[in-house]
């Protein structure tokens, strides 16, 4: 009942605000041509100017990612992922209890490891996630949420491992958005464009890593 | 001595000197320097007596009505000249940029304001960009640094022109200070409305002058120069402050701004 | 939160005399200003991008109704809710109602300037909710019960020492009984304390750097990851955003993002750029069950209608204040509200009213550096002068100034009288001043002579000297 009243008030207010906007723009109603033009623009989504890439796609991606304080390693195939994570876990001196994206869960993790495929836990040493794209322009990885990819894997662990196929690296951010819907064709609840580990400079202007998110972020770049 | 060097400089243009109220009241020598430079560049200079002010003090205080009345007076006084030239980036920016905006909705005055705007120039940029003038036989012994006044810099694009002219003065070494484009804190009425902030800003500017070890400070706007010189005198600094026109015209024997007369 | 800008002079004086503060604020020049200059210098396409950004914003504003309606339709299609608030009170009420309906006790907040503009935290706390800012800088000013002094770096005015004291006072009872004094330790405390709170939160509130009409999304950029934990862990995600935050497409947001991060931080991109669209989808393993966007007008439609429309282009990068010599001298607190510096000097009177912001349009030299660095080319000095004009028209200017300017203008319209009067006055002043070359004191000019000498005039006016010269044969 209370919610209904709020909705009623809100929709009246909605009409009032829209009316004020139209008055401010000095039109009562847009012409059909103008409307069509706006729809066209939405569909075509024109791009603005972008910086030039300095290097070949993958080389730039790796260079930029490293400048963003990712560590990057290249492996020939996904078979190499488990050994890579084993090594990272040993380096981090963390217990073998990690969260893994559903799509990576059946890669042959060691039997004595605890592999959590649900959302990340409050205390989380390491997560292994699957990116849908990498962006050479900025050295970023793109991750999306769905049944196999909980968003919390990207933010709660101390070390965040991101698996990225080299063939999924694109040049510019605009290209990356196109990768997001993927096979399912749907737009997800969350798209994370991640460009390095967590940091802040809010105390005395001194850069501190991490703030709330991961301390370290590691990209495993798979294939060519 | 200056000579005309450019092909597209008009033949002996008739120039109305826009004196500016600060030059008129505080430092006429700048006006005489401007006349000399313009005449040496081949201009016929007149000084219409019915001029007082560009209207900026009123305009920037929000008194648009009075600013418009003063602007009309200025337009009437100057519109028959080939060019209107003044030794101030701030005043000439008012005429070039603000006048057309002030009269945007006035069908009678809009065209006149635009016409005047197009023919109005700050002095040094006029000498270089329109007259193609160059200097010969001018000297000043010293190390100088140049303060870029904000309106001239940002509204009129005056940056290279004063330096190009000053580089032709024999014996003058030009050195760039840090933050040369940072506001000195004059800002018209700002300097008296917010004196503490203004003094902080001008002190920062003087700190930058100090770091260059220059013995002379130059600029193109008397408001800035009065502000900087005033603070320098209060701090006991001996840097000489001149309007760049005075150096370019070889008129630096008189006391610099705020300097006592030599006994 | 109501604006309190009448204290500008007093607070500015305090700030000028506070050497600790002066040290803190000077880091802006070596930090953000230098970084931005490097980033812009490294980008040959910068001016083109700036023009593209301006064009996107102007196009959107000229069609704001269309894009807001499209945004709402897309949000709804994805299972979210859009609410419309005419002013601060309505916006707060909408959030209160949602919190009440879900029985919220704990609320986490990502950085949202508009939520501070509408005074949201105080309203929710009055309802008995625990409200926690999660951005480290906002967390600190919340604890200190201060306003942020900068829209990107809220704690620019606070030394590490002061923050250490603050944390020691407030964190002692949360397991931190030893005083930490280095930034890494202090941030570590914030990480530990807030990590629990993210999980306890019933509602997570974030702002939006952009709203995307094409997809019905909100976009936030952070380096900390706090916004993401806020928006992902709580069962309800509320976005507070003013109506001009909407842009047509993700591609448009990308252009503006390139400008925003360079202008604000001198970086190409922040650690986290997140696009949130609706609640969790069926099958998702985490994410909120409800997604609400509260669209706030609060003076935007007023700005849209007139000469101030360009102000709505603002993408909240803070480049203007980072380059403003007045802001750099006195910091954000003298501006008295949530938006300081040049953008605040325009927004505060437009949103909070001229009465609450009399000083701000005047505490400016109109030097134009702000406009020069604005990534979307807002003509800030013109807007500030326009505000002075509106103050004059509405009689907010004090009598002394009106009288002074009026007298000057009257005299300026009578050239012959003006020249006669000034010739006499200058004659006297020149004679009085010429031995020393300048005045240490001058009646009616106390503002000038408090800190400066007044250079002496030369004893005659130019017009008098010129007339004399013309008379010679």
| C-alpha to C-alpha distance for C427 and C424, rounded to whole angstroms | 5
Right CATH for C34-301 from 3.90.180.10, 2.60.40.10, 3.40.190.10, 3.40.50.10420: 3.40.50.10420
Residues A101 and A135 reside in one and the same domain:
yes
Residues A7 and A105 reside in one and the same domain:
no
B253, part of any domain:
no
Residues A114 and A28 reside in one and the same domain:
no
Q: Which tokens belong to A158?
A: 């101390």
- Mark which residues 195-224 of B lie under 8 Å from C by CB: 195-202, 204
Asked if pLDDT for residue C215 goes beyond 60, the answer is yes
Structural domain of A19: 2-44
Give the burial class of A74: count Cβ atoms within 10 A of its Cβ; 0-12 exposed, 13-18 middle, 19 or more buried.
middle
Helix axis angle, C462-471 relative to C415-433, nearest 10°?
100
| C-alpha to C-alpha distance for B70 and B56, rounded to whole angstroms | 9
Give the pLDDT confidence score for residue B2 in this predicted structure: 41
Four-CA torsion C299, C303, C306, C312, nearest 10 degrees: -170
**C355 φ, ψ to 5°?**
-60, -35
Q: CA angle, A74 as apex, A69 and A75 as ends, to 5°?
A: 145
Residues A27 and A107 reside in one and the same domain:
no
Residues A179 and A98 reside in one and the same domain:
yes
**What is the nearest CA distance from C225 to chain A, expressed in angstroms?**
5
A159, part of any domain:
yes
What is the three-class DSSP state of C455? strand
CATH code, B79: 3.40.50
Residues B122 and B203 reside in one and the same domain:
no
> Between chains, do C390 and B202 touch, taking CB under 8 Å as contact?
no
Residues A31 and A67 reside in one and the same domain:
no
Give the pLDDT confidence score for residue C401 in this predicted structure: 87
Q: Average pLDDT over chain B, rounded to whole?
A: 94
Helix axis angle, B64-78 relative to B107-118, nearest 10°?
60
Reported as a pLDDT band with limits 50, 70 and 90, residue A183 is confident
Q: Are B225 and B239 a contacting pair, CB within 8 Å? A: no
Residues B94 and B10 reside in one and the same domain:
yes
A184, part of any domain:
yes
Reported as a pLDDT band with limits 50, 70 and 90, residue C395 is confident
- Boundary of a domain, candidates B88, B108, B129: B129
Q: What average pLDDT does this structure show over B39-64? A: 96
**What is the nearest CA distance from B7 to chain C, expressed in angstroms?**
32
B255, part of any domain:
no
Residues B196 and B162 reside in one and the same domain:
yes
Give the pLDDT confidence score for residue C7 in this predicted structure: 86
Residues A94 and A198 reside in one and the same domain:
yes
Residues of C within 8 A of A214 (CB-CB) are 225
Give the pLDDT confidence score for residue C247 in this predicted structure: 98
Q: Which of C316, C320, C335 is nearest to C147 (CA)?
A: C335
**What is the nearest CA distance from A117 to chain C, expressed in angstroms?**
9
Residues of A within 8 A of C223 (CB-CB) are 198-200, 211
Give the pLDDT confidence score for residue A10 in this predicted structure: 65
Asked if pLDDT for residue C63 goes beyond 70, the answer is yes
Asked if pLDDT for residue B263 goes beyond 60, the answer is no
Residues B103 and B122 reside in one and the same domain:
yes
- Mark which residues 144-163 of C lie under 8 Å from B by CB: none
- Pairs of CB atoms within 8 A across B/C: 208
Q: CB neighbours (10 Å) of residue C30?
A: 10
Which chains have 3+ CB pairs within 8 A of C? A, B
Give the pLDDT confidence score for residue C473 in this predicted structure: 58
Residues of C within 8 A of A120 (CB-CB) are 286
CATH 3.40.50.10420, chain C: domain bounds = 34-301
**Structure ipTM:** 0.95
Residues A26 and A72 reside in one and the same domain:
no
> Between chains, do C392 and B61 touch, taking CB under 8 Å as contact?
yes
3-class SS shares of chain A: helix, strand, coil, % to 5? 35, 25, 40
Q: C232-261 pLDDT, tens per residue?
A: 999 999 999 999 999 999 999 999 999 999
Asked if pLDDT for residue A1 goes beyond 50, the answer is no
B261, part of any domain:
no
**What is the nearest CA distance from A120 to chain C, expressed in angstroms?**
9
Residues A162 and A85 reside in one and the same domain:
yes
Nearest CA in chain C to B154: C368
Residues A77 and A112 reside in one and the same domain:
yes
Q: C412-457 pLDDT, tens per residue?
A: 999 999 999 999 999 998 888 888 889 988 887 888 999 999 999 9
Q: Which of C391, C401, C437 sits opposite B260 (nearest CB)?
A: C437
Q: Average pLDDT over chain C, rounded to whole?
A: 95
Give the pLDDT confidence score for residue B5 in this predicted structure: 46
Q: C279-337 pLDDT, tens per residue?
A: 999 999 999 999 999 999 999 999 999 999 999 999 999 999 999 999 999 999 999 99
Residues of C within 8 A of B226 (CB-CB) are 454-455
pLDDT top residue among A169 and C429: A169
Residues B159 and B83 reside in one and the same domain:
no
Give the pLDDT confidence score for residue B4 in this predicted structure: 44
| C-alpha to C-alpha distance for C406 and B65, rounded to whole angstroms | 10
Structural domain of B172: 138-248
Give the pLDDT confidence score for residue C471 in this predicted structure: 84
Number of domains in chain B: 2
- Boundary of a domain, candidates B129, B158, B185: B129
Which chains have 3+ CB pairs within 8 A of B? C
- Pairs of CB atoms within 8 A across A/C: 257
Residues A68 and A111 reside in one and the same domain:
yes
Q: Which of B200, B226, B261 sits opposite C455 (nearest CB)?
A: B226
Q: Which of C375, C362, C446 is nearest to C6 (CA)?
A: C362
Residues of A within 8 A of C318 (CB-CB) are none
| End-to-end C-alpha distance for chain B, whole angstroms | 30
Reported as a pLDDT band with limits 50, 70 and 90, residue B228 is very high
Which residues contact residue C324 at a Cβ distance below 8 angstroms, ignoring those fewer than 6 apart? Answer: C341, C342, C364, C369, C370
Residues of A within 8 A of C90 (CB-CB) are 13
Residues A65 and A165 reside in one and the same domain:
yes
Number of domains in chain A: 2
- Boundary of a domain, candidates B129, B161, B176: B129
Residues B242 and B154 reside in one and the same domain:
yes
C441 touches chain B (CB under 8 A): no
Reported as a pLDDT band with limits 50, 70 and 90, residue B3 is very low
Q: A205-215 pLDDT, tens per residue?
A: 889 999 999 99
Give the pLDDT confidence score for residue C1 in this predicted structure: 53
Residues B146 and B122 reside in one and the same domain:
no
| C-alpha to C-alpha distance for C187 and C132, rounded to whole angstroms | 15
Q: Which of A146, A198, A214 sits opposite C281 (nearest CB)?
A: A146
Reported as a pLDDT band with limits 50, 70 and 90, residue A2 is very low
A50, part of any domain:
no
> Between chains, do A193 and C273 touch, taking CB under 8 Å as contact?
yes
Asked if pLDDT for residue A14 goes beyond 60, the answer is yes
Residues B144 and B237 reside in one and the same domain:
yes
| C-alpha to C-alpha distance for B165 and B248, rounded to whole angstroms | 7
Asked if pLDDT for residue C3 goes beyond 60, the answer is no
CATH code, A209: 3.40.50.10420
Q: Which of C100, C135, C304 sits opposite A24 (nearest CB)?
A: C304
* Residue % of chain A over a pLDDT of 70: 95
Residues B173 and B150 reside in one and the same domain:
yes
Q: A69-89 pLDDT, tens per residue?
A: 999 999 999 999 999 999 999
Q: Are B162 and B146 a contacting pair, CB within 8 Å? A: yes
Residues of C within 8 A of B182 (CB-CB) are 325, 369
A137, part of any domain:
yes
């Amino acid at each position: 009942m209370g919610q209904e009243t709020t909705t009623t008030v809100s929709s009246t207010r909605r009409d009032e605000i829209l009316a004020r906007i139209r008055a401010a723009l000095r039109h009562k109603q847009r012409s059909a041509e103008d409307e069509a033009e706006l729809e066209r623009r939405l569909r075509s989504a024109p791009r603005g100017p972008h910086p030039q890439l300095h290097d070949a796609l993958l080389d730039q991606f790796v260079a930029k990612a490293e400048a963003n304080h990712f560590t990057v390693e290249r492996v020939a195939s996904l078979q190499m992922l488990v050994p890579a994570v084993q090594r990272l876990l040993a380096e981090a001196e963390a217990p073998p209890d990690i969260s893994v994206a559903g799509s990576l869960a059946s890669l042959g993790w060691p039997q004595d490891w605890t592999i959590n495929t649900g959302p990340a836990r409050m205390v989380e040493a390491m997560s292994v996630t699957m990116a849908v794209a990498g962006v050479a322009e900025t050295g970023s990885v793109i991750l999306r949420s769905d049944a196999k990819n909980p968003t919390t894997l990207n933010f709660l662990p101390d070390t965040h491992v991101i698996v990225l196929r080299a063939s999924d690296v694109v040049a510019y951010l605009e290209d990356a958005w196109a990768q997001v819907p993927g096979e399912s064709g749907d737009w997800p609840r969350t798209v994370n464009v991640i460009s390095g580990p967590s940091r802040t400079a809010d105390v005395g202007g001194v850069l501190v890593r991490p703030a709330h998110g991961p301390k370290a972020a590691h990209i495993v770049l798979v294939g060519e | 001595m200056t000579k005309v060097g450019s092909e597209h400089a008009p033949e002996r243009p008739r120039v109305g000197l826009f004196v500016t109220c600060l030059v008129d009241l505080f430092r006429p020598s700048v006006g005489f320097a401007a006349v000399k430079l313009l005449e040496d560049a081949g201009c016929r200079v007149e000084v219409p007596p019915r001029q007082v002010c560009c209207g900026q003090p009123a305009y920037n205080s929000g008194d648009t009505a009075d600013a418009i009345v003063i602007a009309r007076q200025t337009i009437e006084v100057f519109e028959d000249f080939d060019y209107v030239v003044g030794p101030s980036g701030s005043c000439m920016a008012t005429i070039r940029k603000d006048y057309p905006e002030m009269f945007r909705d006035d069908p009678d005055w809009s065209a006149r304001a635009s016409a005047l705007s197009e023919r109005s120039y700050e002095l040094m940029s006029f000498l270089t960009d329109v007259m193609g003038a160059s200097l010969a036989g001018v000297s000043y012994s010293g190390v100088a640094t140049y303060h870029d006044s904000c309106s001239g810099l940002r509204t009129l694009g005056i940056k290279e022109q004063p330096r190009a002219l000053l580089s032709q003065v024999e014996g003058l070494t030009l050195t760039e200070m840090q933050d040369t484009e940072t506001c000195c804190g004059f800002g018209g009425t700002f300097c008296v409305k917010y004196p503490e902030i203004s003094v902080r800003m001008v002190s920062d500017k003087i700190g930058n002058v100090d770091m260059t070890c220059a013995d002379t400070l130059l600029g193109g706007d008397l408001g800035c120069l009065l502000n900087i010189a005033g603070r320098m005198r209060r701090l006991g600094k001996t840097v000489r402050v001149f309007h760049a026109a005075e150096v370019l015209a070889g008129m630096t024997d008189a006391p610099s701004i705020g300097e006592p007369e030599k006994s | 939160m109501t604006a309190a800008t009448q204290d500008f002079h007093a607070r500015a004086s305090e700030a000028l005399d506070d050497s600790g503060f002066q040290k803190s604020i000077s880091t802006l020049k070596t930090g953000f200003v230098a970084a931005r200059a490097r980033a812009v210098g490294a980008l040959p396409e910068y001016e083109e991008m700036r023009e593209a950004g301006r064009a996107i914003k102007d196009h959107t504003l000229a069609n704001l109704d269309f894009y807001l309606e499209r945004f709402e339709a897309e949000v709804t299609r994805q299972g979210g809710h859009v609410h419309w608030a005419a002013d601060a009170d309505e916006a707060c009420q909408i959030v209160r109602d949602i919190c009440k309906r879900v029985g919220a006790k704990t609320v986490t907040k990502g950085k949202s300037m508009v939520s501070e503009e509408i005074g949201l935290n105080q309203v929710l706390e009055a309802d008995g909710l625990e409200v926690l800012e999660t951005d480290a800088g906002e967390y600190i000013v919340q604890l200190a019960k201060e306003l942020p002094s900068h829209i990107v770096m809220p704690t620019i005015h606070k030394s590490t020492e002061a923050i250490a004291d603050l944390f020691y006072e407030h964190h002692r009872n949360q397991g931190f009984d030893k005083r930490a004094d280095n930034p890494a330790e202090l941030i570590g405390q914030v990480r530990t304390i807030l990590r629990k709170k993210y999980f306890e939160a019933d509602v997570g509130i974030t702002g939006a750097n952009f709203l995307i009409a094409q997809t019905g999304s909100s976009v936030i950029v952070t380096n900390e990851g706090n916004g993401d934990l806020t928006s992902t862990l709580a069962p309800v995600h509320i976005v507070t955003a003013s109506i001009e935050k909407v842009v047509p497409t993700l591609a448009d947001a990308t252009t503006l993002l390139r400008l925003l991060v360079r202008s604000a931080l001198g970086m190409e991109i922040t650690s986290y750029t997140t696009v949130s669209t609706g609640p969790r989808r069926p099958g998702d393993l985490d994410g909120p069950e409800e997604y609400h966007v509260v669209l706030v007008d609060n003076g935007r439609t007023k700005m849209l209608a007139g000469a101030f429309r360009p102000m709505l282009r603002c993408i909240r990068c803070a480049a203007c204040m980072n380059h403003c010599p007045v802001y750099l001298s006195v910091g954000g607190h003298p501006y008295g509200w949530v938006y300081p510096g040049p953008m605040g000097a325009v927004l505060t009177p437009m949103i909070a009213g001229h009465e609450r912001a009399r000083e701000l349009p005047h505490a400016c030299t109109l030097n134009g550096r702000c406009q020069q660095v604005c990534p979307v080319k807002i003509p800030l000095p013109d807007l500030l002068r326009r505000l002075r004009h509106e103050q004059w028209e509405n009689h907010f200017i004090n009598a002394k100034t009106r009288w002074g300017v009026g007298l000057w203008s009257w005299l300026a319209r009578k050239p012959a009288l003006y020249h006669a009067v000034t010739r006499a006055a200058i004659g006297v002043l020149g004679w009085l001043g010429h031995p020393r070359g300048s005045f240490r004191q001058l009646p009616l000019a106390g503002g000038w002579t408090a800190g400066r000498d007044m250079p002496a005039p030369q004893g005659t006016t130019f017009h008098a000297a010129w007339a004399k010269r013309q008379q010679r044969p």
